[in-house]
Amino acid sequence: MTSESVLGSSTVTAYMKLNTDPNAALADILAKVNSVRAQLPSESEDPSVNMSTGSTTAVMYIGFTSDELDSSQITDYLERVTKPQLFTVNGVSKIDLYGGLKYALRVWLDPAKMAAFNLTAKDVMGVLNANNYQSATGQSVGTYMLYNGSADTQVSGTDELKRLVVATQQGQVIRLGDIAKVSLEKSHDVYRATANGSEAVVAAINAAPTANPINIAADVLKKLPELERNMPSNIKMNVLYDSTVAINESIHEVVKTIIEAALIVLVVITLFLGSFRAVLIPIITIPLSLIGVAMMMEIFGFSLNLMTLLAMVLAIGLVVDDASWYWRTSTAILNWANPHSVRPLSVPAKLPCR
């Protein structure tokens, strides 16, 4: 277990032991986090728990750009429409949006105006926190009726927030709009994302620990045309990075190596032993070795990946080498027991003339 803290956030990473059920571990961690939620400072946000394979690279990165919309507007559309559809793909555990920030009401304080009213940023923060309060208003019970009370304490726009009363001095009401500029825009401007030289929002698709990234990428690519068809015309989408391309190429190269290794073994045995019976041995042992490796992988729960494919290549070499050694040893023993069965090898040569 490791922890890391930066300005504004803390991250605790728990690594599971081999063959641990990830769903059961996630349930246990959620229970522990909820048990200490009340001990966190009141200013902190609710903690979130995410489950991943531990890889620092997502399965796919998809970029969204627009010449008319800013990153916050693109993020708003992705949060409401695109992300729920991508979550329907089997095996997707988390979708991170980089470069796009959610909308927020931002208050830009004017130091000169605040000094004129003898106000500080702490005073404004106290007023905002006091008005950002949610609580049940209770019930009103009569003889023949019951009334459930409700109170709407949320603001719906910048104009309502500007009318918030900050202080009262000498009968004069000081509102937030008198000492600050209120705007609706992205929550902060700490980082941005670019794709092909343009400001963009990048969606990173992460796989679940038990999911197959190749299947996830294939299903996402099948869904992209539908997403693009239903997307506004001023938003463009393109795949920036697909990690399964390298995986598929590596698997293709390993399968190609297996075929080449089998052919080379057959050619070498044919040239050096010169016996059809010797050639039959690798023809039979190579498929049997691959079938045996596949059966053992199934028994021990191994998946088909680069490591297991390379193990198949080694299995071909080891089994064929053992079979060839057995054939050479058996032939030598039979020839020693029956020397008359050995055929003399005659090589034509030219004798020198005197």
Percent of the chain predicted with pLDDT > 70: 85
Sign of the Cα pseudo-torsion (192, 197, 203, 209, in order)? negative
Sign of the Cα pseudo-torsion (126, 129, 132, 135, in order)? negative
Give the mean model confidence (pLDDT) for residues 101-113.
85
The reply to whether 81 falls in a domain is yes
Shared domain for 36 and 174, answered yes or no, is no
Q: Give the model's pLDDT for residue 345.
A: 41
Residue 186 has pLDDT above 80, yes or no: no
The reply to whether 97 falls in a domain is yes
**Token digits of residue 17:** 């032991």
Q: Which residue has the higher pLDDT, 325 or 82?
A: 82
Q: What is the pTM of this model?
A: 0.63
Shared domain for 41 and 81, answered yes or no, is no
Q: Give the model's pLDDT for residue 43.
A: 72
Report the C-alpha dihedral over residues 253, 256, 261, 263, rounded to 10 degrees.
Answer: -160
Sign of the Cα pseudo-torsion (42, 43, 48, 49, in order)? negative
The reply to whether 141 falls in a domain is no
Q: Give the model's pLDDT for residue 301.
A: 78
- CB contact at 8 A, 37 and 22: no
Q: What is the tens place of the pLDDT at every residue in 131-167?
A: 877 666 777 887 778 877 777 777 777 888 888 888 8
Shared domain for 191 and 98, answered yes or no, is yes
Amino acid at 295: M
Q: Give the model's pLDDT for residue 347.
A: 44
The reply to whether 328 falls in a domain is yes
Q: Give the model's pLDDT for residue 346.
A: 42
Q: Which residue has the higher pLDDT, 276 or 84?
A: 84
Question: Which residues span the domain enclosing 326?
Answer: 247-336
Q: Give the model's pLDDT for residue 335.
A: 66
Shared domain for 298 and 156, answered yes or no, is no
Q: Distance of CA 118 to CAs 1, 114, 121, 174, Å? A: 49, 6, 10, 11
Shared domain for 87 and 110, answered yes or no, is no
Shared domain for 40 and 27, answered yes or no, is yes
Shared domain for 89 and 201, answered yes or no, is yes
Shared domain for 155 and 293, answered yes or no, is no
Q: Which residue has the higher pLDDT, 22 or 82?
A: 82
Q: What is the tens place of the pLDDT at every residue in 54-66?
A: 667 888 999 898 8
Residue 312 has pLDDT above 50, yes or no: yes
C-alpha 122/C-alpha 112 separation (Å) is: 15
In 3D space, the residue among 49, 101, 40 whose CA is nearest the CA of residue 71 turns out to be 101
Q: Give the model's pLDDT for residue 318.
A: 74
Shared domain for 207 and 327, answered yes or no, is no
* Number of structural domains the chain divides into: 4
b/e code 268-299 from CB counts within 10 Å (16+ = b) = ebeeebeeeebbebbeebbeebbeebeeeeee
C-alpha 256/C-alpha 158 separation (Å) is: 64
Q: Which residue has the higher pLDDT, 313 or 128?
A: 128
Residue 119 has pLDDT above 80, yes or no: yes
HEC secondary structure over the chain? CEEEEECCEEEEECCCCCCCCHHHHHHHHHHHHHHCHHHCCCCCCCCCCCCCCCCCCCCEEEEEECCCCCHHHHHHHHHHHHHHHHCCCCCEEEEEEECCCCEEEEEEECHHHHHHCCCCHHHHHHHHHHHCCCCCCCEEECCCCEEECCCCCCCCCHHHHHCCEEEEECCEEEEHHHHEEEEEEECCCCCCCEECCEEEEEEEEEECCCCCHHHHHHHHHHHHHHHHHHCCCCCEEEEEEECHHHHHHHHHHHHHHHHHHHHHHHHHHHHHHCCHHHHHHHHHHHHHHHHHHHHHHHHHCCCCCHHHHHHHHHHHHHHHHHHHHHHHHHHHHHHHHCHHHCCCCCCCCCCCCC
The residues, ordered by sequence, that sit 6+ positions from 287 with a Cβ below 8 Å of its Cβ are none
The reply to whether 234 falls in a domain is yes
Shared domain for 93 and 162, answered yes or no, is no
Q: Give the model's pLDDT for residue 334.
A: 65
Shared domain for 176 and 60, answered yes or no, is no
C-alpha 351/C-alpha 340 separation (Å) is: 28
Q: How far apart are the first and last CA of the chain?
A: 90
Question: What CATH number is attached to the domain comprising 111?
Answer: 3.30.2090.10
Q: Give the residue carrying structure tokens 């990173």.
A: 204
Shared domain for 83 and 196, answered yes or no, is yes
The reply to whether 264 falls in a domain is yes
Least confident of 213-227, 312-326, 332-346: 332-346
**Token digits of residue 78:** 């992705």
Q: What is the tens place of the pLDDT at every residue in 283-293?
A: 777 777 778 87
Residue 245 has pLDDT above 80, yes or no: yes
344 phi and psi, to 5 degrees? -70, 145
Mean pLDDT across the chain: 79
